[in-house]
């Protein structure tokens, strides 16, 4: 689905602003900001803790100037499920909280008149949603205490009361989290553009259109100069002496494919770059690439998971300050604006589906939950949305599923998705799955991926505080992966740290411990050539549900939630600054 554009042929009317919300039918309507999660916009705990349906409404006038155009309403993301009514009639419904959807309203929205828009939002999660919720009433990080009759009864009571527990470690922020726009295009229109550039300068393209007409594609360089063109809905254009899209600290050079079709125009930005996995290395444009940067969340005070361009720019400028070159969109596809920014800023993205929480312990086989078809659909939709971004260099099928208790079922499930990702991606990028810290000798799945990615918390959740033994144990595991002979990325490692808590002795939760922890783990990584990435968890402190191991959220950030650096941020800035120096071979 093409990202909305304002250009000579198209317009996108942004419906962001103050809408109305109510949690129950019959309640009074209250003002709410869109886009943003509703949870933290009100002092009333009913919003913070809401489970179930709620309703948003607004009204908008369709400009008379749009008469004769094709009109759609585009929702970039409503978390999680949505039903949309225009003037009381349902116009579309969508499942899943992190990808766009649209409804054709050409015949229904009359230019020159006003319309009422109502969005019914459902934030419930369970074993059939992505991310996964826990209908059994067990918390992700909880005082589980199985076997205590009163606690078991309490859990049953929670279920009756409709408590919605996530099977993942981030707050289940909900609502209209990303922009809503009224998009106008000519009646005969460009429906999709696919670009497959190669570093010799050939750019294969396919344009999908609706209606009769001729397609023309021009390639324009960063100075606005035309460097190639072709006619027809698919074909190939050659750019002489192409400037490559290089990740930071190189130049992320961008071209534009200007597509015209009858009256319609669409400008698709792209970069010429090549991603390959050979042996135990990942190559971008033929150069061995080392991924270094903290993984993120879409998370901030007040907005929750709401899209905020100022926050995106701040975050990416702090990535530059850190000399970071990559992040993973843990644990769901991010707002499209972030990918466009990373294209321009040269920050590499590992793009992840919202498949987090696929695991229920030894007594529950998650591969019997029936998620496979829906998961494949979400994976295809994410790839279709993000396929043209040069910053996206790898797909992540999901985060920390169970691959230990049902190893064969896990392997079959993830191998099928691996094949679907390769088949769906016109640029055929590498595919990975992020593994959990478990008995790695039972895992049959990670080695089936192009890149082995895993999260490890030696010294934190296990061998807690004893960094010497933690490093010893981590080295032992790395010996195991060395035999697998694939590139390995440490996609998470970290220690909760209360900003401002210090000690002469580096004990857990102090800023000194966080630095010592990273030094100890990085020493292990530096010894191994097959480790092609280090991605601290997390870029910034972030909101989670209440739990005995969470104090005001997850505190593993290199930055606070307000983006103030902890000591560990300064440590990584110095370390990664060295990686940028000429001649440094990482
Ligand atoms: C991993 C998860 C991540 C958590 C992190 C942690 O992938 O979502 O936030 O651990 O515990 O299990 O901090």
pLDDT in tens, 242-287: 999 999 999 999 999 999 999 999 999 999 999 999 999 999 999 9
Distance 455 CA to ligand 1 centre (A): 8
Instruction: Find the DSSP H helices in 137-197.
Output: 149-160
pLDDT of residue 485: 92
State the distance from the centre of ligand 1 to the C-alpha of 356, rounded, in angstroms.
10
Measured from the Cα of 457, ligand 1's closest atom is: 10
Distance 436 CA to ligand 1 centre (A): 9
- Write down the pTM of the prediction: 0.97
Q: What is the CA radius of gyration of the chain?
A: 24
If one residue of 169, 350, 400, 493 were mutated to test the ligand 1 pocket, choosing by the most ligand atoms within 8 A of its CB, it would be 169
Instruction: In whole angstroms, give the CA distance from residue 394 to residue 275.
Output: 8
What is the set of active-site residues?
400, 492
- Best mutation site among 298, 492, 508, 556 for ligand 1, i.e. most ligand atoms within 8 A of its Cβ? 492
CA 172 to chain centroid: 15
Cis status, amide bond into 131, omega within 30 of 0: yes
- pLDDT at residue 143 greater than cutoff 70: no
Q: Are 39 and 150 in contact (CB under 8 A)?
A: no
Query: Order of strands across the sheet with 431-435?
Result: 291-292, 531-534, 488-492, 451-455, 431-435, 392-399, 348-352, 326-328
Nearest residue (by CA) to ligand 1, atom 8, is: 169
pLDDT at residue number 562: 98
Which residues line ligand 1 at a C-beta cut-off of 6 Å?
169, 331, 399-400, 455, 492, 537, 554, 556
Which residue's CA is the nearest one to ligand 1's atom 5?
169
Tell me the pLDDT band of 423, cut-offs 50, 70 and 90.
very high
Nearest CA to ligand 1 atom 11: 169
Instruction: Tell me if 205 sits within 8 A of 257, measured CB to CB.
Output: yes
Which structural domains are found in the chain, ordered by start?
Answer: 11-132+167-183 (2.60.120.260), 188-273 (2.60.40.10), 277-579 (3.20.20.80)
Mean pLDDT of the 56-65 span: 96
Closest-CA residue, ligand 1 atom 9, reads: 169
Using DSSP bridges, classify how beta strands 189-197 and 17-22 pair: parallel, antiparallel or unpaired. unpaired
């Amino acid at each position: 689905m093409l990202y909305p554009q304002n250009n000579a042929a198209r317009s996108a009317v942004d419906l962001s602003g103050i809408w109305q919300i109510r949690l129950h039918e019959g309640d009074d309507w209250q003002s709410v900001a869109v886009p943003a999660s509703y949870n933290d916009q009100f002092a009333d705990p009913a919003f913070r803790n809401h489970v179930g349906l709620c309703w948003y409404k607004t009204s908008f006038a369709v400009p008379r100037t749009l008469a004769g155009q094709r009109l759609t309403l585009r929702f970039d993301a409503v978390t999680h499920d949505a039903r949309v009514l225009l003037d009381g009639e349902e116009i579309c419904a969508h499942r899943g909280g992190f990808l766009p959807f649209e409804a054709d309203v050409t015949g229904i929205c009359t230019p020159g008149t006003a319309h009422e828009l109502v969005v019914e939002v459902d934030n419930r999660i369970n074993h059939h949603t992505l991310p996964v919720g826990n209908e059994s009433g067990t918390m992700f990080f909880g005082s589980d205490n199985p076997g205590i009759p009163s606690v078991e009864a309490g859990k049953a009571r929670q279920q009756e009361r409709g408590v919605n527990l996530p099977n993942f470690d981030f707050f289940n922020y909900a609502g209209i989290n990303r922009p809503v726009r009224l998009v106008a295009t000519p009646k005969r229109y460009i429906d999709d553009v696919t670009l497959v550039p190669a570093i010799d300068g050939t750019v294969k393209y396919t344009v999908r259109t609706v209606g009769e007409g001729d397609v023309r594609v021009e390639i324009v360089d960063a100075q606005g100069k035309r460097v190639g063109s072709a006619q027809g809905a698919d074909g190939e254009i050659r750019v002489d002496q192409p400037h490559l899209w290089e990740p930071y600290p190189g130049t992320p050079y961008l071209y534009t494919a200007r597509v015209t079709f009858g009256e319609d125009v669409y400008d698709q930005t792209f970069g010429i770059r090549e991603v390959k996995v050979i042996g135990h290395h990942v190559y971008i444009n033929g150069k061995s690439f080392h991924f270094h940067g903290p993984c993120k969340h879409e998370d901030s005070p007040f907005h929750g998971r709401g899209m905020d361009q100022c926050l995106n720019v701040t975050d990416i400028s702090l990535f530059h300050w850190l000399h970071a070159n990559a992040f993973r969109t843990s644990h769901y596809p991010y707002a499209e604006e972030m990918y466009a920014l990373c294209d321009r800023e040269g920050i590499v993205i590992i793009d992840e589906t919202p498949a987090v929480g696929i695991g229920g312990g030894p007594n529950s086989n998650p591969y019997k939950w029936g998620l496979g078809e829906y998961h494949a659909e979400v994976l295809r939709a994410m790839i279709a949305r993000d396929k043209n971004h040069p910053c996206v260099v790898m797909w992540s099928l999901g985060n920390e599923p169970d691959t230990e208790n049902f190893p064969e079922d896990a392997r079959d499930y993830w191998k099928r998705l691996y094949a679907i990702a390769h088949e769906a991606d016109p640029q055929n990028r590498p595919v990975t799955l992020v593994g959990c810290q478990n008995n790695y000798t039972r895992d049959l799945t990670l080695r089936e991926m192009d890149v082995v990615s895993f999260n490890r918390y030696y010294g934190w959740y296990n061998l807690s505080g004893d960094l010497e033994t933690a490093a010893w144990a981590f080295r032992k595991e790395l010996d195991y992966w060395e035999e697998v002979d694939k590139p390995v990325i440490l996609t998470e490692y970290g220690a909760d740290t209360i900003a401002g808590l210090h000690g002469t002795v580096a004990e857990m939760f102090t800023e000194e411990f966080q630095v010592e922890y990273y030094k100890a783990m990085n020493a292990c990584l530096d010894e191994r050539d097959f480790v092609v990435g280090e991605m601290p968890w997390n870029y910034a402190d972030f909101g989670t549900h209440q739990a005995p191991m969470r104090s005001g959220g997850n505190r593993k950030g290199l930055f606070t939630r307000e983006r103030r650096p902890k000591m560990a941020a300064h440590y990584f800035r110095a370390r990664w600054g060295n990686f940028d120096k000429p001649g440094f071979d990482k």
